[in-house]
Structure formats: structure tokens, C-alpha cells
Amino acid sequence: QQHFDFPYQSVYLYMSSVAAVLLWHAIALLVVSSLASGSSLNGTKGRRGEVIFAHNGAVATDDRRCSRIGMDVLREGGSAVDAAVAAAFCLGVVSPASSGLGGGAFMLLRFSSGVAKAFDMRETAPSLASKNMYGGNTTLKAKGGLSVAVPGELAGLHEVWTQHGKLPWKRLVKPAEILARRGFKISPYLHMQMEQTESDILEDKGLHSIFAPNGKILKIGDICYNKKLAETLRTISEFGPQPFYGGLIGRNLVKDVQNAGGILTMKDLKSYSVKQKEPLSIDVLGLKILGMPPPSGGPPMMLLLNILAQYDLPSGLSGALGVHREIEALKHVFAVRMNLGDPDFVNITEVLSDMLSRRFAKVLKNDINDNKTFGPSHYGDKWGQIYDHGTSHISIIDPERNAISMTTTVNAYFGSKILSPSTGIVLNNEMDDFSMPRNVSKDVPPPAPANFIMPGKRPLSSMSPTIALKDGKLKAVVGASGGAMIIAGTSEVLLNHFVKGMDPFSSVTAPRVYHQLIPNVVNYENWTTVNGDHFEVPANIREALKRKGHVLQGLAGGTICQFIVLDILESSTKNKGIGKLVAVSDPRKGGFPAGF
């Protein structure tokens, strides 16, 4: 078991000395030779397999198998786009509680030429959906056929590949098909997700047949087969997305959703469109931060960074006071966030402008009291919060230094708790990310109208794929899974590395704190992961926060970050060798990066 200390107790300065640079060279050589031989660094004394050093390209995902599949694509001359497509298909098979063909995603792409693009493949409300369709019933909104929105991931992956892929589409889909057909081992994290949803798995015919074929859920290391999904993937590998959005796969999917009480139609699938947008960007902390436009978590994350950048750094964010300031900034951010919605349906120009503005951030920073916290109304809690879930994140840098940050999701564990029996696809419950009109007591803010359901509308999301530049050059790719906590988790990793000087691995493994305004509770990490690592915010920090009036609650979970840094050697004209990329997969989920 490894215990991860809080950054304020042990800050690791990031490779500033010449000796450290030489050390990195030595370690990198060991790592690359180890990768070549296929051995794992995990469990090696003093080193962890969750951090690797690579010269050419690197892929960081939630699952070692998918990182390697992405890396193999890069080795064959594929682009970052090709690697992302292959890795995303893989995650949909081996990590089906978090993402897959039945869900949606946000992808941020930046080319070495400097051109950047944002692809919105978020799910949309079906054409028969309406603002009052649930009649206040939160269960119908969260689970079952009526919770299913129109999936967008496949359309998005194919669109990005059509524009920027190098390798054949079939080559990218094939590894996932093989895993589904020949079987894959149940990981410890997937098993935890299965345990938490065991009753739902046993209730649903499709989930039951795959994850509990003998009446009990499969155990860690058991082989899981999804032959129907393998067939679906084989068809998609031959014919692209057409069978899904306009053919037999789509018809079967619609039939299964309607049999479960849903309102998805073939018209919905045929009319789904991917949105290509300009990424948002702000200059903060000496970096240019590229993020996803609404309805993503990009603007809230940027506002959080803008608020915290107003302090003297790094001292202003150190110790318990630094944690308090971050929590207070988060409370302001979540109050403002609920004014956002799908920009194709709601005018959010003014609130978006505020969220990207340093002037607005300064107003909020000036409202933070260093000695105490307040109730939600102090922060302008005009609207009730939504609580999105789950997800999976992929970070990639290829040999040409093109970069991708992609977050993909089916929302809650196993989405709607429906696996389409005829296609093998786990269906999202993304409708639960919309706000819903309902009567509330006078102490509770009403639901946010900007996020009410309309046919074709995309619900609000916390997903925040991010790319960081310094002096116009690529510096880092980061993102996280973990629902509404993604905004804090992604920001904390960036602050740990670029403000507090922590190395990439320590930046990811430092214990995290979260706040979502309502309920008025600080969630702090205090848990031992399925792989035996312990994460805990130390007692002295917790006591200091309590003295300022914070209500604290230990959290067994949180965000899972994938972080790739282009290290300080990149600018060296002499160095043509090893150690340019440092890739970290978060140990919290058991993922491993891959690089060469």
C-alpha cells in the first residue's frame, strides 16, 4: 500500500536542477527498455507504472489495455486522432460502466501547427422529449428507457477521423472488437462499479447476460464476453457509423430502448449531428489554457483558475488557507455555472463572457473571506445544481506533437442501467443531466431554466478536457473523469504542477478536495483504492477548515486524471533523445499510460 500525502506537506519541486534532468534521462532509458520488453513497472521499488517517460508519443487512459492499443496505433504511424479513436473504442468494451458507443464525449484537438478544434459529440434530448416529461419523477429521469438521450460518440469519432485520421477506420475499431469477442478480464475498478450496481445488473436482461451470466456478477480477473457488441463493432468497422445512425444497428437499438419504455426514434439517430466549435482560451498562470465551449465544464474551470490566479502565487495557495480559498472559489464557480446551457438553445453570451473575464474573477476573489465560509445564498445560489456522474478520460500526444484531450461518458455507472440485448451497447442516462421543473421549498433554489429539456438540446456537463500551452508551444494535456468533481480535479492537477512546482505524478496523486455549493459540504478524499493506495487529506488541514466553518465529509472516490507533460528538455536543441514526454495515469482507477 502506498500513502499519498497532501501537497502542502510534501511539495516536490519539478526537475529544476541539472542533476534531476540527468536522473530523468537514466530513468527514461530504463522505462523505454522495460516497455519494449512488455514488463510492468508497477510494484517496482521506488517507481510506479502509472508514470512513464517517452520520446515519441504517449497515451494515458483509465485502462492499460486501451493505452497500449492507442500507443500501437501511434507506432504504426497513426495520428493522435487515430490513437484516440482506437482507445475510445477499447474503453467502451473494457470499461463499459463509464463510456462507450451508447454515450457521448467532448474532444479538444490541437495540432503542432497551432490550429485547435473542439468537437462536441454530447448526447441530445430525443425529439419527443419535453420540459415536463418526467412530471417531477427523479427516478424516471435517472434510470430506464426514458433516461436515454441520443448517443453521439460514434458520430463524433468518425467525423474527427474523416477529417484528420491517417490509418484505416477498420484498423482502429478492430482491437476493441477482438476484446469483446475473445473476452477481457474484469478489472478491480470495473468490479467495484459492478458491485455498486449489482441489483440493477441483475434486473436488466442485457446487463445480466454479460456481467452475471451465471446468476452472480463476475469476479476480478474473470473473463467477460460481449459477442453482440463484437458483432456491432465488426459492422461499424466495415461500414462506419451508417448502420448505427441509419441502419440495422440503429433499428435494433431503438427497439430495445422503446421496449424499456424510452422515446428514442430512428429520426433522432438520423438527425444527430456533431458540433465542431472554436475552443475557448484564456491566459492565466503564465499559460494559455484551451478548453471546451459550453455546455461543457470548460468555462467553470477557467473561472476557477482566473479567481485563484489573483492571489500571490505560489504562497497564496499553500497550506490550509490555500485549500480554503480554493473551496470558496469553487462555491462561487458553481453558483455561476448553473446559468449556462446549450448555446444553440439559450443565450449565454453574457455569462460566458463573465466566466472568461479576469475582471469578473477579481470581483469574486474580493468576496472571499480568509477567515470563514458562508451558506449557499452568500454566493448567489440562484439555481439548483445538477450532479453528473462517471466518465472516462483520454490524453494523447503524438510524435508530431499533435495533442488530444477527450472525455467520454455514459453518465452514471452503466448509464441508464440498460444494455441493449440486440447490439451489446450500454445506453447512457444523459437525460439526468438536464434540470427539471419541480416545486421546491423556500430554502432550496429552483431548477435552472437554461438547462431545461428541449428536443435536440444538449444537457449541461462538467467534462473539461484541457490543453495547456506556454509561449505558444504545447506544454500539457489533462482531463478527468468524475462527474461534477471534474472541474475541481482538473484544476487542482494544473495548479499542483504549474503553480506549486510538483512533478507530474505527484500533481496527480496529491489528495483532492471538492465543493459543489449545494449541499454546503466539503468532500475530501479519504479512501483506499481497489489497488490498495490510500489517499487522505491530513487531519491538520481538516481541522483548520472546520475552524473556518466548513462542514467536512470524507469521500471514497472523486476524480481520475490523465496528465501528459512535455517536459523541460523539449526546448533543448542538443537533446534528440529520451525523456521528452511524461505521462501519468491516475492510480485511483488502476489505469496505466503507454508510450515509446
Residue with cell 456533431: 274
Q: Is 257 marked within a binding site?
A: no
d(CA 180, CA 170): 15
130 is in an annotated binding site: no
Handedness of CA 315, 317, 322, 328 (dihedral sign): positive
Instruction: Point out the catalytic residue in the list 61, 124, 197, 391.
Output: 391
Under a CB-based contact definition with an 8 Å cutoff, are residues 571 and 347 in contact?
no
H or E stretch at 236? helix 227-239
Binding site annotation covers 411? yes
Residue with grid cell 490509418, as numbered in its chain: 167
Q: Is the dihedral of CA 285, 300, 87, 527 positive or negative?
A: positive
Residue 170 main-chain phi, psi, to 5 deg: -60, -40
Exposure string over 540-554, b if 16+ CB within 10 A, otherwise e: ebbeebeebebebee
Strands 581-585 and 51-54: what pairing? antiparallel
**Quick check: is 391 catalytic?**
yes
Q: Is 298 left (phi over 0), alpha (psi -120 to 50) or beta?
A: alpha
> Beta 3-4 vs 534-536: how paired, if at all?
parallel
- Which helix (H) or strand (E) element contains residue 109? strand 104-110
Which residues neighbour 23 within 8 Å (Cβ) at sequence distance 6 or greater?
A: none
Please, what sign has the CA dihedral across residues 100, 106, 110, 116?
positive
Pick the closest to residue 94 from 256, 222, 204 (CA basis): 222
Q: Are 431 and 124 in contact (CB under 8 A)?
A: no
Strand partners, 107: 119, 406
DSSP state of 582: E
433 in a known ligand binding site: yes
590 is in an annotated binding site: no
586: annotated binding-site residue?
no
* 409 marked as part of a ligand binding site: yes
| 471 annotated as belonging to a binding site for a ligand | no
C-beta atoms surrounding 235 within 10 Å:
19
Q: Within 260-416, where are the H helices?
A: 266-271, 298-308, 319-337, 349-355, 358-366
Binding site for L-glutamate, by residue number, is: 122, 409-411, 433, 461-462, 483
The residues annotated as belonging to the active site are 391
Binding site, by residue number, is: 122, 409-411, 433, 461-462, 483
